[in-house]
Structure formats: structure tokens, C-alpha cells
Amino acid sequence: MQQLLFYLQYAARNLWRSRRWSAFAILSVAAGVAAVVALHSLGLAISDSLTENIRGSNKGDLLIYLPNSSSPGAVADTSRSETVFSAAQRSAVASWAAENNAQVTELTFNNGMQVAALDAQTVGRLQFINGYFIDPATYPLTDDIIASDPPGIPVGELFQGGAEVVVSSNLAKSQDIAVGDQVRVSSTETVFTVRGIVPTEAQAGLRQITGPEIFSVFFGFVYFDRAIAGDIIPMNNGPNRMNINLPDGATPEQILEAEDELYDILSQRFNTYVQIDTTVELLEENQFIADVLGRVIVTMGLGAMLIGGIGIINTMLVLVRRRTEEIAALKTFGLRGRQIGAMFMAEAFWLGLVGSMVGSLVGVVLSGFANNFGATLIQQPLTWRFYPEAVLFGLVLGLVVSMVFGVLPVITASRVRPATILRPNETVIPVRGVVQSLFAVLFVVLALGVIAGQIITSTIGGIILVTATLAILGLLTLLLWIIVWLVGKFPAFGWVDLKLALRNLSTRRFRTATTLLAISAGMFALSSIVFIGESARSILNFTLTESLGGNVVIF
């Protein structure tokens, strides 16, 4: 124990003596850990958002809809013509609900509507507004949709019995609509009064971006009272959706059993092709999506962490070079190579620990910004939370990676010969043996591969991923080495300072190349977060193009 404390104290003192290089290594580790913590926190926030309140997202335990109607993710079946539920079908579902103590609400969903303020200029302005014709007394069956203006009022209480609408916040913002304004709706000359504004996420989320409800995400939506608006606006003579809530405490097995029974009633008895979404199926889908996104996001952070490890190697090699006389003297006093290696491994431990702690604090701050990009990706709000598991993961990963990358400098330090003290002007780093170098590289690949394998749930895949990443880093180092060599050939034009700078670059080309690569770790850490937002924008643009059938609409 005393020997371990000696190693740690000696390493801390040496790192303090070389504060400049130590700060560089700590910064390299901190950049990688910050990316890991921020991205891991983002993955956990996405998982929580996708798996919490599935019942509210589905507006009930079961959602029944007709594929030929304007429905979420539906593909039309041209061999069937049903677009609304008949009175007999509705009666059969109501009877089933009464027998099973369930609740039912009916609504009509129409997409591609036009809504604009009474005096608004809409020429050339693209609009695809989704309309939800609801029963204010029963919709939704789950938690109330609370208006943001007037604040705190459930959507059902906003309707007062006239030609009224409740609009989404994104529609109100894009059309400059306020509560009390009058608006026109396509297919009718009747003027409607805006009674309230509700949050966009009430009908917009990850599930909505794969079908016609994507218009709710980008353009907005409107709630109508079915009993009144149905007589004013030309619409199908009946609902095309039914939401059903089973009694509280219903098990997944009971929900799936209810799905089978309702499908038999509508498909077998009435020969109607329907689709049913259940909270059980949605939870499985969302958990799968959350797992995939989480692994991809954390893997991106691991890439930044690997680059940060280059800073550890570079810094410790510099420390070995500057302290060859000290190492030789220690060996002269009787210390063995493994003891010298233990001292330098203690330095790697301190660099990893301090860098991980700093990076974790920065990562917690960055996670708030990362959540903004994540909310764009899944099109539903993300609540910022402090995730201890993300911080612990970053701390452990940063510490392990630092010590793994410290193996190569440790081997180098252990090969310094005692006779070096007799030649103080020679500070050449000893050459590692081929066997030792291969062993060190293999150890680094296997250790990091196991870590990556835990993230992607495949150890072999993790080893392959790390091998490919290190190969890419090697190519980048070679490219930077060539660039440094070319820069060193530039003329100095008689400028002494420039000549000295170019000479220093040329003298330590490999160290300069690895330094440049380590500096890029911070840039990679920040750009990886921005990359998520840009990817989300591309995905949503592609989805919208697919839904519209192109990127130009003529009507």
C-alpha cells in the first residue's frame, strides 16, 4: 500500500512539474469524455422520451384505423373502399367496450387542409394542415391536452358550442394566429373563431413523421368539434379512427387479447380490413429505436475518446524524453523496469482521472445543448435530467482508455538503460522491441474492442470497429506527418522566428502530427453533436419528400 501511495505521489509531483504538457493531455481526455457524457445523456433522454407515457402518445391502449383513410403510416389497399366506420361497426365496438369496461372515443382525421387568418395573404404559401374532428367530451381518453393559451385549460373545455377551432402552436406561429382571431378553413365559407392554442407535441412526435401526420409536425394541426364542424365542413360521414382505453392496470397480455378480439369483430364479422396499434407494440418499437440510437450516439463519443487517447501517448512520450536522465538515475539506485513502468502508469492514471472529471462536468453542460438536437431528431420534447450513469460511464471510460493508451509510453520508459546517466546530452527515446510493440498494440486493440463491444453488444464487432478506427487514425497521422514535412520546407524569407518554428516542426514531425490529431479530438467532440442535428434535418427532409411524392408540389 505504501508503495502504491509512493507511485501516486511521485507521479502527481512529476505531472505538476510538467504542467504545460499535463494540461494538454488532460484537455485531450476531457474533450473525449465530454463528448461521451453529453452523447450518452442524449441517448438516455431519447430513451426516456420514447418509452414514457406510451399510452398518452397512442391516445389510448388501442388505436383502430382504416388503411384507406388518412391514417398514421397507412398504405392504401385499393381492393377495399372503406374510408369510415359504419354505424354497425361503431355499435359493435361500443358493445364490446361496455362488456369489457373500456372507454371509446371516435374521431375523424383529415390531412391536407388549409387554415389561415381572415385577413392573411396565403398566395404562394404552402400549407398542409391536419384536421382532427374530435368529441371534446371524451378526447383524449388519456391525460388531458392542456392549452398553452389560455394556459392551463384542457382542450375539451375550450369548445363552447359554435364554429370554433383550437390550433397547434406551430400553426399559430407560422400564420401569426392568436386566441380570439377568426380564420377560414378550406372547403367552407364559414368563419371559425380560435378558442385556444395547444403545444405541437400533442399530436406530433417520432411516430407521426412516418405517415400523413407528418404534416402536424411541420405545418400544424387543428381541432374541430365533430358534432358542429361536421355539418359545416364537407367530410366523410363517420369517423375513421377509434381510440380505446382498457381499465387501469390492464396487462400487456390483456391489451393484446383485446386487439385480437376487436380485429375479429371488424375483420371477420364485417369483412373490413383495419389496422390496430397497441401500446405494447409501440413500446417494443420505441425501445428498439431508442437502443439503436443510443448505441450509435455513444459509439460516436467513443471515437472522440480514442482520439483523446492519442494525447495521452504524445504527452507521456514527451515526459519520457525529458526525464531519461531521471529514469536512468532511478534504475541506478536499484529500481527495476516494472517499477519504472508502474510510476508512469500512475501518471496515466492521474491524467485520465483529472481529464475524466473535467470532461464529465463539461459533458453535463453540453448535454443540454445536445438535447435540442435530439428533440429535432425524434420530433418530441426531451427533458433535461442529470444522469449519474452517463457521468459514471464517462469517468470509467476515460480512466480505462487513458491507462490503456499509457501502455506504449510505459514500455518505452521501462527500456531506458542506467548507462544513459553517463551520457546526459543523449535524450533519444529507446526503441521498443518488435515483440513488445506488437503485444502493446494487440493489448490496446483488445481492451478497447471489449469496451466498444459492450456498447454495440458484439465483442467481435467491437474489436473490428476499434481496429478500423485505429487504422484510420494511423492514416490520418501519416497524412498530418506529410503535411508537417511539406510545411517545414517552406522558405523563411529571412525571418528568424519563422525559421526556428519551421525547424522545430521538421525535427519532431511525428510528435507534431500526433499533437494535431489530438487537438482535433475537441473539434470532433463538438462536431459529433452538431452532426446529429444535421442528420436529423436530412432525415426529416427525406421523410417529407417521400410523403409528398417529391420536393415540389403543384396544386
Residues 15 and 102 reside in one and the same domain:
no
Angle at Cα 113 formed by Cα 111 and Cα 116, nearest 5°?
A: 145
Residue 167 has pLDDT above 90, yes or no: yes
Neighbours of 22 (CB within 10 A): 22
The radius of gyration of the chain's CA atoms, rounded to the nearest angstrom, is 32
Question: Which band of pLDDT confidence, cut at 50, 70 and 90, is reported for residue 410?
Answer: confident
Question: Which band of pLDDT confidence, cut at 50, 70 and 90, is reported for residue 76?
Answer: very low
Phi, psi of 182, rounded to the nearest 5 degrees: -105, 140
Domain-terminating residue out of 273, 302, 334: 273
Q: Is 279 a domain residue?
A: no
| d(C-alpha 172, C-alpha 403), whole Å | 55
Residues 442 and 523 reside in one and the same domain:
yes
Say if strands 62-65 and 221-225 run parallel, antiparallel, or are unpaired.
unpaired
Neighbours of 191 (CB within 10 A): 11
Residues above pLDDT 90, as percent of the chain? 15
Q: Is 280 a domain residue?
A: no
- Interval 47-59: pLDDT, tens: 888 887 788 888 8
Residue with cell string 369496461? 101
| d(C-alpha 148, C-alpha 452), whole Å | 44
| d(C-alpha 471, C-alpha 467), whole Å | 6
- Cβ 473 vs Cβ 490: under 8 Å: no
Residues 237 and 131 reside in one and the same domain:
yes
Residues 294 and 255 reside in one and the same domain:
no
Domain-terminating residue out of 251, 273, 295: 273
Q: Is 45 a domain residue?
A: yes
Residues 97 and 192 reside in one and the same domain:
yes
Domain-terminating residue out of 273, 296, 329: 273
Residues 305 and 263 reside in one and the same domain:
no
Residues 427 and 529 reside in one and the same domain:
yes
Where in the sequence is the domain holding 447, given as residue range(s)? 2-53+285-548
Residue with cell string 452523447? 39
Q: Is 61 a domain residue?
A: no
Question: Which band of pLDDT confidence, cut at 50, 70 and 90, is reported for residue 72?
Answer: very low
Residues 38 and 178 reside in one and the same domain:
no
Q: Is 383 a domain residue?
A: yes
Residues 265 and 383 reside in one and the same domain:
no
Residues 76 and 22 reside in one and the same domain:
no
What domain count does the chain have? Answer: 2
Residues 212 and 320 reside in one and the same domain:
no
Q: Is 88 a domain residue?
A: yes
- Interval 355-384: pLDDT, tens: 899 999 999 998 888 888 777 767 677 888
Residues 244 and 360 reside in one and the same domain:
no
- Interval 11-64: pLDDT, tens: 888 778 877 778 878 888 888 888 888 888 888 888 888 887 788 888 889 999
Q: Is 60 a domain residue?
A: no
- What's the whole-number average pLDDT of the chain? 79
Single out the residue of 136, 106, 94 nearest to residue 241, CA to CA. 106
- Cβ 58 vs Cβ 213: under 8 Å: no
Q: Is 89 a domain residue?
A: yes
Report whether the peptide linkage leading into residue 150 is cis, meaning its omega lies within 30 degrees of zero.
yes
Question: Which band of pLDDT confidence, cut at 50, 70 and 90, is reported for residue 155?
Answer: very high
